[in-house]
Amino acid sequence: MARFEDLPYRPCVGVVLINRDGLVFAGKRRGPAPEHVDGSHSWQMPQGGIDPGEEPLAAAIRELYEETNVRSATLLAEAPEWFAYDLPPVVAGQAWRGRYRGQTQKWFAFRFDGPDSEIDVAHPGGGHKPEFEAWRWERLAAMPELIIPFKRGVYERVLQTFHPFTR
């Protein structure tokens, strides 16, 4: 078995969806919080893996639709670099069949151009299984405290990168 430090990162995208008031989409992950996390850290922004041969921007648009049903969005910016995080070792052995040590993420900011009624986390686009059980508009500055702690560093970098778009 490979050592944790030798495992690769899973390529992934993340989306900051910003409404007209400068607030961002926050989704509450479905199901009970993992044993190592309390329920207050169950909120996150849309994110997901990049399919083989898929460009990161295309993956971001696809993931946004598959998790929120949103199509009415305009690209505002792309993070200039990839942000990575390590999973806690107890989680790494279970997630993705133990093949990755964490994720490296390319983040994008989009302006939400549609009505709130377009967002449907119970019936997301593409017939995908819902990832969120609830959603709300939240201040981007609050997101690092709402995310699962091992992703907090990435969310702090996302905040630094995209906060000008929330004004």
Q: What are phi and psi of 129, to 5 degrees?
A: -65, 135
Structural domains in the chain, sorted by start: 4-166 (3.90.79.10)
Query: In this predicted structure, what is the pLDDT of residue 91?
Result: 74
Q: How many angstroms separate the CA atoms of 45 and 151, rounded?
A: 11
Distance of alpha carbon 93 from alpha carbon 99, whole angstroms: 8
* Poorest-pLDDT segment among 88-92, 133-137, 159-163: 88-92
DSSP state of 14: E
51-105 per-position pLDDT tens digit? 999 999 999 999 999 999 999 999 999 999 999 999 887 776 666 677 888 999 9
- The three-point CA angle 31-144-96 to 5° equals 50
